[in-house]
Amino acid sequence: MNVVDRFLEYVRFDTQSDEETNLTPSTPGQMVFAQHLEKVLQSMGLSDITLDDNGYLMATLPSNIDRKVPTVGFIAHLDTSPDMSGHNVSPRIVEKYDGGDIILNKDKNIVLSPSEFPELSHYVGQDLIVTDGNTLLGADDKAGVAEIISAVAYLQAHPEVKHGDIRIAFNPDEEIGKGAHKFDVKHFAADWAYTMDGGEIGELEYENFNAAVARITFTGRNVHPGYAKHKMINSLRIANQFVIMLPRWETPEHTEGYEGFYHLVGMEGTVEQTVLTYIIRDHDRDRFERRKKEMEHLTRKINNEFPGVATLDIQDQYYNMREKIEPLPHIIEIAKQAMIDADVEPKVVPIRGGTDGAQLSFKGLPCPNLFAGGLNFHGRYEFVPVPSMEKATDVIVQIARIVAERG
C-alpha cells in the first residue's frame, strides 16, 4: 500500500473534533481511527505500541544500527476541523491537472478555480486529490498520518537505509487546541520530533502565533421597548460598540506574514446578555501581551459608560515555539538538508496559526513543523497534490538517515 492508498483509506474515517464535549478524545470517531491505526502498526511489526484511554497512539521503529544515536519522533493528529463536515468524505483524483477549473460538484455548482485559488497553478501536470464539494478533505492531517506510516514502511523494506530508533505518535484534538494537553512526553522518549502538519511542499516552520481566547460577556436589562427610555440596557448594542472600538485593520482578512490580529469568532446574544468570543494572535510576545491589555482597556471603557455591564475572561492557549527551537539549530538544519536531499526547496515560514509542536516544545519536546502537502484546509476547496505527499514521505526517510549518519 502506498501513501495515496493509505490517505484515501484514512480520510473516510469521520474524526471531526468538538470543542464542547470536554472529553478526550472529544469525539468517538477519533478513537475508532486510532484503534484502526493501532492494528496497522501491529501488522507492520512495530514495537512499544501503546494506545491510551485518551486516544494517544505511540510506537517505535527500532534502530537498525549498532550504535547510539538520537531518537527522533514524527507526529500527526487524528482529528479534522469542526469547521466543516468530515462525514462521508468522498475524495477523487484529478489526473495530470490541466490548469483549468475543477468541478467539484456539478449539481451544486461548486468549482475549485485558479481564479480564486491561484496556488493551483503551481501544480499543473500533477495528480491532485480533491473533495466532492460536500465536505472537507482531511489532508489536515491525514496526509501527515499516511506519510509517517508510509515512511516507516519504506524504512522497513529498505534496511540499507540506516536509522536510529524512530518514535511515531498520533494524537487527538489538535484542531481544538488540545492535541498536546495529555501527550506524555516522557513516555514518548524522543530527543526531538517533527509534526507533519504543515501546508504546501517545502514548508518548514518553527515560529507560530502566541495565542489567547477572550470572552466578553455583556449583561443587559430588558424592558418593554415602548417604555424603555432610561431603563433598558441593550447588551447587543453595547457589544456592537465594543466590536467597532477594536482596530479595524487588525483582523485576519487584512493581515499576513508576522502581522497579528483580533478575530471575532463568535457572537451570541439577546437584549439581556451577549457574549463575544475573540481569538488573539501575534508572533511577537510583547505585542501579544499588549493586545490582551487593549482588551482589558476597552472593557474598562465600556464599564465607565455602562457601569458593571462587561466582564472579560482571557485564557492563553499556546506560545511561539521559536524560543524553544532556536537554541537547537541542528534540528532545523537537519530538516533543511533532508528536504534538499529529497529534491525539495526548503521554505522557512512562520505559521499563521498554531500546532501541537508549539505546546510540545514548551513541554520539553522540541518540535518544528514540516509540510504535509495539503492546501485550503478546513473547507470544501481543500486539496492535496500527490507528489507533495510522496516528497513528504521521502523527507521523513531522509531525516532518519541523516540523524543516523551524524550520530
Lookup: cell for 7: 490517505
CA torsion sign for 56, 57, 61, 63 is positive
Neighbours of 388 (CB within 10 A): 26
Q: Which residue has the cell 550504535?
A: 67
Lookup: cell for 231: 431603563
Give every CB contact of residue 21 below 8 A, 6+ residues apart in sequence: 27
Euclidean distance between the first and the last CA atom of the chain, given in angstroms as a whole number: 31
Instruction: In whole angstroms, give the CA distance from residue 176 to residue 235.
Output: 28
Q: Which residue has the cell 494572535?
A: 281
Instruction: In whole angstroms, give the CA distance from residue 135 to residue 146.
Output: 20
Lookup: cell for 300: 474598562
Catalytic residue among 79, 173, 203, 356: 79
Active site (annotated) includes residue 205: no
Catalytic residue among 38, 141, 165, 174: 174
Neighbours of 345 (CB within 10 A): 9
Closest CA to 183 of 170, 195, 196, 194: 170
Active site (annotated) includes residue 405: no
Contact between 260 and 290 (Cβ < 8 Å): no
Catalytically active residues, by annotation: 79, 174
